[in-house]
A and B are shown apart, each in its own frame.
Chain A
Amino acid sequence: MNTALSFAPVVAERDVEVISRPSLSYWRDAWIRLKANRRALVSLYIVIALGVFTVFGPLFVPSASIQDLDQISSPPGADRSAFIVPPYVPWSGVTVNVRDAQGPLEAPGSMTLVGEATTQAVRMFWDPVPGAHGYRVYRNIAHPAPDDALGMPLADVLNPSRVSFEDRLDIKPGEYFYSVVPLDMNGVEAPVYTTLDVRAIRVITADEAVKRGLAESVADLAVGDEVKLKLHVLGTDYLGRDMLSRLMHGARVSLFIGIVAPFLFILVGILYGSAAGFVGGRVDQVLMRFADFVVALPFLLFMILFRILFKIEGGDSGIAPMLIAMVILSWPAAARLVRGQILQIREEGYISASRLLGAKTPYLVLRHMIPNTMGVILVTITFAVPSAIFTEAFLSFIGMGVAPPTPSWGSMCNEGLKTMLTHPHELIFPALFISITVLAFNLLGDGLRDALDARMRSQE
């Protein structure tokens, strides 16, 4: 037999192993999983939108500290019209001849509004009360009826023949209830009163309107004309500052802290945790025991202490102290997590293989260990953002956060709380922004966890 023929070389078959699908890298796979999760994807869009809102928003709105004193605490969509009136002219008032009388004082028979009630002045007179030695005038924004809540005492009219009053004290457009109480010869109030219900309209003089940039020139305006005040899309706060603009500038503070703080403390945690995990033994024991102690520190108490420790000078915003305090107190959780991961990865086959090929320790850590913990770390960052935003908001809320006038969502909530009952929009908007941001990061974190970490995959 011809042995040469028996052992003819086999023709190499080229298509034995065809990879029918492109191989997926870890990150591509994660991205595909994330895209399939609708909630996470929507959250991602919200986070991106918030980023745009924060970075570019403040470029298009006026400064957050400009005050519009005509519109204080005005909710969004409030009536912005103002009517042109002539400049203020003093009013001589109403005087009558009074009869003297004995016996208990009665309430004034009726009260009458003079002219129109405007934000410039509200003028009124009332029927004289026989025997009264004077009158006290009150103003309230609610009807005094059930509890005799007359409101704020405006003035004592101590001339018995004068039965009129002119109110020019900080009148806002809206309803007011003026009450008049007669006073006896000792200046003591009688237990009776008469109330006048008044609806003040916003007015402005032509000069003022031009000065505020609401009209071109005085010549264009006639008495009775209507002008529109400046538009504040989301209304104004208690100092007349534009809410939208403050929310945007506040977002820079809140999101900056919310994102940079977790980033920094997780960086510290990675370094610390990977050092502990990799070196192991006694060093690991000591390092982790120290981390345990830091975890045991009462978090908020120490945040407040640290916040004071880095004393804020006048004009500082107080962002840096808060960041430093958060990093000092928050790194151990991340360190623990990274250490656990490193301990696990250290035993993996590819590490031994790499070591056999002569890889040095720094290379092993940087090339193999840290990239392989990246998924878990990313998820941790995403979940750390909401808690950092909460911490900032909490501290600013109790007045220990950023210093005014720097806006942050937390400090805006704090300010809004004071006027919650009368102007809820000042609380609702910043609270809404905090909630939406936290919600988006939470849902995104859920999605990332499902996509990146098979072991932590939640049961949904």
Chain B
Amino acid sequence: MIRYTVIRLIQGVITVWFIATATFFAMHAVPGDPLMNDKAISEEIRRNLEAQYGLDKPLPVQYVIYIGNMLKGDFGISFAQENRSVNDIIREHFPVSAILGILAITFAGLGGILFGALTARYRNKMPDIVIMFLVILGISVPSFVFAALGQFALVNLNAFFGTSILPVAGWGTLSHMIAPSLVLGLGTMAFLTRLMRSSMLEIVSSDYVRTARSKGLPTTRIFLRHELRNAILPVVTVLGPSIAAITTGGFVVELVFAIPGLGRYFVQAVQQLDYTVIMGTTVFYGAFLVFMVIVVDLLYGLIDPRVRLE
């Protein structure tokens, strides 16, 4: 177990280094540089600026310097936003994205397990048919359409009650978080419901459930101890990739609901070719995702003793 964890962590570090390297060179291959966004500047000023930011050095040297700083935990200073360090930007805006993501994944996970179990239980009956129809809809409708429709619904809801039940956009209080996280989690929830349903159907017809039934155990006990616990496993496996999908999918929701998350900064930074912010956010997101996948894999070993982590 410990050996496995260590190996996974080492692999994770290599992956993050790979992400950093790929991003660094891809970004520098883009024509232009961050200084081109400003008004025309004289050759001299430009040279001074380049020297200040270290852009005058050859690319491999810049790379080594950057990786060195990164290892010290310093992502540098933003080009576009004066005197703002990338660490500050991440520290300030990542929590917003993270809260949104956590709420969304909680909602998606709980909803997916609940609805999946429900549809399996009422297989081919009304609840199953209705939920599965909604699930197919949830998988087929892009998140930005959900976001737009969600906002549309909120506007009408607020207009109907004459007061602001839930805010349409913005960030700050808990009531701001409900609508965007619901929207963000919807697609994943639909996917998880489907997964949970097929996994549940497989379990329900398994031998040990039949045994438990013939022993005369109460239905709720069979459901909780035998069926649910086993059926949840595949859902846990895809939670890692789902977290990735939800955090990056957060861009759109942040855009539509005007939420000051990290995703918006990334899109903005790419447009301005703000080298340090692009690097910082990509490496940070990459490390976060790699770490989440490792955590989920380790969790999997804890939940299912049959899985030997090697």
Chain B residues 236-255 with CB under 8 Å of chain A are: 244, 248-249, 251-252, 255
Please determine whether A417 and B202 come into contact, CB atoms closer than 8 angstroms. no
Cβ–Cβ < 8 Å partners of A400 in chain B: 267, 270
A403 to B153 alpha-carbon distance, docked (Å): 30
Checking B249, B270, B290 against A296 with a beta-carbon cut-off of 8 angstroms, the contacting residue is B290
A322 to B21 alpha-carbon distance, docked (Å): 22
Q: Is B78 an interface residue (CB 8 A)?
A: no
Chain B residues 1-39 with CB under 8 Å of chain A are: 14-15, 18-19, 22-23, 26-27, 29-31
Please determine whether A292 and B142 come into contact, CB atoms closer than 8 angstroms. no
Cβ–Cβ < 8 Å partners of A390 in chain B: 142
Please determine whether B266 and A431 come into contact, CB atoms closer than 8 angstroms. no
Please determine whether B252 and A397 come into contact, CB atoms closer than 8 angstroms. yes
Cβ–Cβ < 8 Å partners of B152 in chain A: 420-421, 424
- Interface extent on A, as a size class? 35 or more
Cβ–Cβ < 8 Å partners of A300 in chain B: 248-249, 251
Q: B23 — nearest CB in chain A belongs to which residue?
A: A305
Q: Is A159 an interface residue (CB 8 A)?
A: no
Checking B31, B141, B248, B255 against A435 with a beta-carbon cut-off of 8 angstroms, the contacting residue is B141
Please determine whether A301 and B145 come into contact, CB atoms closer than 8 angstroms. no
Q: Is B286 an interface residue (CB 8 A)?
A: yes
Cβ–Cβ < 8 Å partners of B31 in chain A: 311
Nearest Cβ in chain B — how far from A41, in angstroms? 16
Cβ–Cβ < 8 Å partners of B266 in chain A: 301, 304
Cβ–Cβ < 8 Å partners of B244 in chain A: 298-299
Q: Is B155 an interface residue (CB 8 A)?
A: yes
Nearest Cβ in chain A — how far from B297, in angstroms? 13
A458 to B234 alpha-carbon distance, docked (Å): 14
Cβ–Cβ < 8 Å partners of A301 in chain B: 23, 248, 266, 281-282, 285
Stretch from A104-112, A225-233, A436-444 that touches the partner: A436-444
Checking A297, A304, A436, A443 against B22 with a beta-carbon cut-off of 8 angstroms, the contacting residue is A297
Q: Is A398 an interface residue (CB 8 A)?
A: yes
Q: B273 — nearest CB in chain A belongs to which residue?
A: A308
A434 to B142 alpha-carbon distance, docked (Å): 8
Cβ–Cβ < 8 Å partners of A296 in chain B: 15, 18-19, 286, 289-290
Please determine whether A298 and B286 come into contact, CB atoms closer than 8 angstroms. yes
Q: Is B140 an interface residue (CB 8 A)?
A: yes
Q: Is A256 an interface residue (CB 8 A)?
A: no
Q: Is B67 an interface residue (CB 8 A)?
A: no
Q: Is B171 an interface residue (CB 8 A)?
A: no
Q: Is B258 an interface residue (CB 8 A)?
A: no
Nearest Cβ in chain A — how far from B262, in angstroms? 11
Cβ–Cβ < 8 Å partners of A297 in chain B: 19, 22, 286
Q: B136 — nearest CB in chain A belongs to which residue?
A: A439
Q: Is A394 an interface residue (CB 8 A)?
A: yes
Please determine whether B30 and A417 come into contact, CB atoms closer than 8 angstroms. no
Nearest Cβ in chain A — how far from B225, in angstroms? 22
Cβ–Cβ < 8 Å partners of B177 in chain A: none
Q: Is B70 an interface residue (CB 8 A)?
A: no
Checking A298, A393, A397, A414 against B282 with a beta-carbon cut-off of 8 angstroms, the contacting residue is A298
Chain A residues 397-452 with CB under 8 Å of chain B are: 397-398, 400, 410, 413-414, 417, 420-421, 424, 427, 431, 434-436, 438-439, 442-443
Please determine whether A306 and B256 come into contact, CB atoms closer than 8 angstroms. no
Q: Is A134 an interface residue (CB 8 A)?
A: no
Checking A306, A413, A443 against B145 with a beta-carbon cut-off of 8 angstroms, the contacting residue is A413
Q: Is B179 an interface residue (CB 8 A)?
A: no
- A-B contacts, CB under 8 A, total: 121
Cβ–Cβ < 8 Å partners of A410 in chain B: 142
Nearest Cβ in chain B — how far from A108, in angstroms? 30
Please determine whether A306 and B15 come into contact, CB atoms closer than 8 angstroms. no
With A298-B286, A305-B270 in contact, do A292 and B15 touch (Cβ < 8 Å)? yes
Q: Is B102 an interface residue (CB 8 A)?
A: no
Q: Is B278 an interface residue (CB 8 A)?
A: yes
Please determine whether B248 and A431 come into contact, CB atoms closer than 8 angstroms. no
Q: Is B85 an interface residue (CB 8 A)?
A: no
Q: Is A2 an interface residue (CB 8 A)?
A: no
Q: Is B62 an interface residue (CB 8 A)?
A: no
Nearest Cβ in chain B — how far from A83, in angstroms? 34
Please determine whether A459 and B256 come into contact, CB atoms closer than 8 angstroms. no
B141, B143, B249 — which one has the most chain A CB atoms within 10 A of its CB?
B141
Q: Is B148 an interface residue (CB 8 A)?
A: yes
Q: Is A91 an interface residue (CB 8 A)?
A: no
Nearest Cβ in chain B — how far from A25, in angstroms? 29
Q: Is B166 an interface residue (CB 8 A)?
A: no
A436 to B137 alpha-carbon distance, docked (Å): 9
With A309-B29, A438-B140 in contact, do A427 and B285 touch (Cβ < 8 Å)? no
Cβ–Cβ < 8 Å partners of A273 in chain B: none
Q: Is A293 an interface residue (CB 8 A)?
A: yes
A297 to B141 alpha-carbon distance, docked (Å): 25
> Residues on B close to A: CB < 8 A?
14-15, 18-19, 22-23, 26-27, 29-31, 136-137, 139-145, 148, 151-152, 155, 197-198, 201-202, 244, 248-249, 251-252, 255-256, 266-267, 270-271, 273, 278, 281-282, 285-286, 289-290
In the complex, 14 of the A-B residue pairs with CB atoms within 8 angstroms, ordered by the A residue number, are: A296-B19, A298-B19, A298-B285, A300-B249, A301-B281, A304-B267, A309-B26, A309-B29, A311-B31, A393-B144, A394-B143, A400-B267, A400-B270, A442-B139
18 more CB-based (< 8 A) A-B contacts, given A398-B267, A442-B139: A293-B14, A293-B19, A296-B19, A297-B22, A298-B244, A298-B282, A299-B248, A300-B251, A301-B248, A301-B266, A302-B26, A394-B142, A400-B270, A421-B155, A427-B145, A431-B145, A434-B141, A434-B145
